A = this chain, B = another copy of it.
Amino acid sequence: MRIHLPADQMPTAWYNALPVMPEPLQPPLHPGTREPVGPDDLAPLFPMALIEQEMSPQQWIDIPGEVLDILRLWRPTPLVRAERLEQALGTPARIYFKDESVSPAGSHKPNTAVPQAFYNKREGVKRLTTETGAGQWGTALSFACTQYEMDCKVYMVRASYEQKPYRRILMETWGGEVVPSPVDDPSHPGSLGIAITDAVLDAVARDDTHYALGSVLNHVLLHQTVIGLEAQEQLALAGERVPDVVVGCCGGGSNLGGIALPYMTNPDVRLVAAEPASCPTLTEGTFEYDFGDSAGVTPLMPMYTLGHDFVPPSIHAGGLRYHGDSPIISALVKCGRMEAVAYPQGKTFEAAIQFANTEGKLPAPEAGHVLRAVIDEALAAKELNEERVILFNYCGHGFLDLAAYDDFLNGRLVDA
Chain A residues proximal to chain B, CB less than 8 Å = 1-2, 4, 7, 70, 72-74, 84, 102-104, 106, 110, 143, 146-147, 165-166, 169-170, 172-175, 353, 356-357, 359-362, 397, 399-400, 402-403, 405-406, 409
Contacts and interface: CB of A to CB of B under 8 A. Distances in A.
A166 B359 contact: no
A399 B166 contact: yes
Nearest to A146: B357
Contacts of A399: 106, 166, 170, 397, 399-400
Contacts of A102: 102
Majority secondary structure, A binding face: helix
Given A1-B7, A147-B357, A165-B403, 15 more contacts: A2-B7, A4-B4, A73-B84, A73-B359, A73-B360, A74-B360, A104-B356, A146-B357, A166-B399, A169-B402, A173-B356, A173-B405, A174-B356, A175-B357, A397-B399
Contacts of A70: 360
A173 B360 contact: no
A147 B359 CA distance: 10
A361 B104 contact: yes
Q: Which of A399, A400, A409 has the most CB of B within 10 A?
A: A399
Nearest to A99: B102
Q: How many copies does the complex hold?
A: 2
29 contacts: A1-B72, A73-B84, A73-B360, A74-B360, A103-B360, A104-B356, A106-B399, A146-B357, A165-B403, A166-B400, A166-B403, A169-B402, A169-B403, A169-B405, A169-B406, A169-B409, A170-B362, A170-B402, A170-B405, A172-B405, A172-B406, A173-B353, A173-B402, A173-B405, A174-B357, A175-B357, A397-B399, A399-B399, A399-B400
Contacts of A402: 165-166, 169-170, 173, 400
Contacts of A169: 402-403, 405-406, 409
A2 B103 CA distance: 13
Nearest to A104: B360
Q: Which of A1, A4, A166, A360 has the most CB of B within 10 A?
A: A360
Nearest to A101: B102
A168 to B, nearest CB: 8
Contacts of A4: 4
Contacts of A406: 165, 169, 172
A357 B143 CA distance: 7
